[in-house]
Structure 1
Amino acid sequence: MKIMTANRLVDGEVVWYGNGQWIETIDGAEIVVDPAEEARLEALGKQAMAANLILDLALIDIEVVDGAIRPKRLRERIRAAGPTIRNDLGKQARTQLSRAA
């Protein structure tokens, strides 16, 4: 299982692709499970890069734990939640957002 992530160009915010747009929470990311779906997502991401909407595009491996999307790599968990030493900064400081880490 994979999802697509990037950084929004205007402010550097970590975003995920879901519901036909770039969103700020991982829990709304579109999950794909086969190479054809991965290629479709990657093509959409490349279009967004060409339009200068995002940069640092990546398809990342995930697992679903208790109904929540959880990146397999620690780097991606940190990108989803924010700094590991300051819980008052980043996405984890926004109480309305779910935590991926």
Structure 2
Amino acid sequence: MSAPIQKSGAKTRAETQVVTANRLDDGVVVYLDPKGGWTPRLDHAAPLSGPAALAAGLDAGKRAEAQQIVVESYAIDVAREPAGLRPLRLREQIRAFGPTILPDPSAAAGA
């Protein structure tokens, strides 16, 4: 069964987190990967469990910010599911998987 979406005011942390940020040169959402690099694919992100792993991941994010690779790195709660990692907050699901609406094709045509 899929883990429920967390409310924005939730105080508890999930068992697993990943570190996310936006790449400075193009604004793309990225995730810290197991090798310490950054990937736009959530399924390639490094799942972090426990305080030490989370602290190390956040430190890697701060170093990448100092090197001007990414901006605004932070940890997000994720669920480990058979299909892969899934963010628990709706905001992070939208960042990971795209907008919740489709573009209106008539707007592009000037209608």
Which TM-score applies when normalising by structure 1?
A: 0.82
Q: Which has the larger radius of gyration?
A: 2
Higher relative contact order (CA 8 A, sep 6+): 2
The answer to whether structure 1 residue 60 and structure 2 residue 65 are counterparts is no
Partner of 1:95: none
Which TM-score applies when normalising by structure 2?
A: 0.75
Q: List aligned pairs for 1:9-28, cutoff 5 A.
A: 9-20=24-35, 21-28=37-44
User: What is the RMSD of the two structures over their aligned residues, measured on CA atoms?
Assistant: 1.1
Any stretches of 5+ residues in structure 2 without a counterpart? 1-15, 104-111
Any stretches of 5+ residues in structure 1 without a counterpart? 88-101
Q: Tell me how far apart the structure 2 counterparts of residues 38 and 19 of structure 1 sit (CA, whole Å).
A: 12
Q: Tell me how far apart the structure 1 counterparts of residues 40 and 65 of structure 2 sit (CA, whole Å).
A: 17
Structure 1 residue ranges (4+ consecutive) displaced by more than 6 angstroms after TM superposition: none
Deviations 1:45-86 (A, max 9, x none): 100000000012110000012141000000000000111112
